[in-house]
Amino acid sequence: MTTTSTYESIAEEVLRGVGGKDNVRSLAHCATRLRFVLVDPSRADKAAVESTSGVITVVEAGGQFQVVIGNTVGHVYEAVVAQGVDGAGGGSTGGPLSRVIDLVTSIFIPFLWTLAAAGLLKALLTVAVKISPGFGATSTYAIWFAAADAVFQFLPILLAVTAAKRFKANQFTAIVIACALVYSATIAVMPGAHGASVTLQAFAQGGGKLTFLGIPVVMANYLSAVVPTILAVYVQSHVERLAERVLPAMVRNFGTPLVTLALVVPASFLAIGPVSTWIGDTLASGVDHLWGLSPWAAGTLLGGLWQVLVVFGLHWAFIPIAFQQLATTGHTDLAGALFAPVLAQAAATFAVFLRTRDRDLKAVAGPAALSGFLAGVTEPAVYGVTLRLKRPFVFACVGGAVGGGIATAGGSAATSFVLPGAITVTSTLNVGSFALQLLGCAIGMVIAFALTLVVGFKDLPAASGTAAGPSDAASDGKTSQDGKAPEGGMASQGRIATLAAPVAGKAVPLAEVPDQVFASGAMGSGLAVIPSEGKVYAPLSGTLVSVMPHAFGIRSDSGVEVLVHIGLNTVELQGRGFTPAVAQGQRVNAGDLLTDVDLQVITDAGYDPITVLIVTDPGAHTAVVPTATGDVQPRRAALDLVG
């Protein structure tokens, strides 16, 4: 049993590793992690913290130094705070680059999959027109193209919603500001030639003089505008706060948005839009210039480093540049170099799947390779497989560099925003040499796959060839024929103990959870459920050792410890949307209600509601085998503990 002195010891070692309490600007914690914001991140010794007994791993992301502890994080947090550390949370998120990346991720992530889906649809329509040119002239094509292209044309409106959340501004006012920007290019309001009306943008392009109160207006194209929208909402947030302070209470409700719209919309057309558009065009021109000097060298460099940038979250800094290129030229050169490194990472992961003898690693590598190949999502592959083994990650970067250089040597570029993958590579059909793009992807994959399979890697030593699978478990015991967990939720039969699903929904492998700590298995083995309803139940009988609105740690009488974690980063909701039915220290039986969750609150706030069931301590058991697939119901068998 972990004692108070042990928590204090962990706290002392962690504090020493992060550079002492004077180097801690602020500290918060979620269900599994201490989240430090450091004064000087360079003073932290990541290796020393990771080597501390009781620490699972360390993640540096979003300007935070995150120390993954597990179910006992609350006790360690209290021990750290007891030593004089600010436990209020918040504070600065690091240096300028870190802040920019954190800003971009928080604004784009909530609708990233919608962007990716729309980009994929555009890519598929491109293929359809290549196969049947006449299809492009049909109304069916036009309707599907509207579905695919609308999100890019009216991107400012989506950005307004998430930027308003980030800057704590009124979302509806932000949407109106974004609509005003889009309005300038879509609605006819100015007199044009032959008595016809034209848009503000068309009027300016035709030589008309636009002014506001006599001040000349430089009209830019605000369709697909990224930087102007974000800056406009940022200014809006400050105007609103000022208006709230100075306006009388009796007129504040309508006066604040009135003042905000009257000031921010003209300011956007007069200054914010032109200046930010110039900045974006300059960045895009810089990338174009680099590509113009040596496309293959630029592609080789970006292709080789892309997955490294993903590891540190730096790849988000390229998103605004890509959108600016799309807005100004109709294609983005950056994307031409990215398909090879993504597919090379998937190929290296598949080679690990074929070569490893560790069944837990094999269970992670298979789905991760498929996710990278088809969907272009490599985080499960990187964090869960290749980066853990080191060599496969390097081999994939080599393949990405070679493949990226070949693809960009032919001038390949994408005509829409997509997550690079085997299907979305069709977005490069109409720019540059598609043959060289395919050749680059193929060579990159072959290099990564062959090096990983032939040169090899040091397999995970702890469980190589020893982890029991479902076939091993079958000889020792069974669950009931209807799939229900034995009474008590974790009954042992022979060498098998069974845990129940905590929530109704669709079961998915842990490797598919879009969080590196969970997906990599660093916290332990288990599975995840994409919930279809908001009632969460105890997967086994035991004592609640930790209770937060969004996460519950349970320890059984036999020493098995599990974590039920509802949503990703939902600690930021501070309990909103959760109605816990239990308290810490309480004893629960398998199937008892832990909490009611309003899933709509989670998704509306931009968070993923995926629910994770992890065995953080298997007790006397030697392996964790997920048994649930597809649609699952709570209180039905989900995991077997074997041995």
- Which residue's structure tokens are 């088809």? 374
Residue by residue, what is the 3-state secondary structure of 370-414? HHHHHHCCCHHHHHHHHHHHCHHHHHHHHHHHHHHHHHHHCCCCE
* List 29, 75, 315, 565, catalytic entry: 565
Instruction: Let me know: does 4 contact 67? Beta carbons within 8 Å.
Output: no
Q: Which of 156, 158, 160 is nearest to 113 (CA)?
A: 158
Instruction: Let me know: does 267 contact 213? Beta carbons within 8 Å.
Output: no
Question: What distance in Å separates the CA atoms of residue 408 and residue 22, rounded to the nearest whole number?
Answer: 48
* List 30, 75, 550, 621, catalytic entry: 30
For residue 413, the cross-strand partners are: none
Question: What distance in Å separates the CA atoms of residue 410 and residue 413, rounded to the nearest whole number?
Answer: 9
Positive or negative torsion for Cα 93, 227, 259, 604: negative
Distances 439 to 136, 298, 595 between C-alpha atoms, Å: 28, 17, 52
Say whether 34 sits in a helix, a strand or coil: strand
Active site residue 194: no
- Count of CB atoms situated within 10 Å of the CB of 636: 18
Q: Is 496 left (phi over 0), alpha (psi -120 to 50) or beta?
A: beta
Active site residue 565: yes
Any residues with CB less than 8 A from the CB of 286 and at least 6 apart, and which?
none
- Which residue's structure tokens are 């292709």? 303
Which residues are marked as active site?
Answer: 30, 565
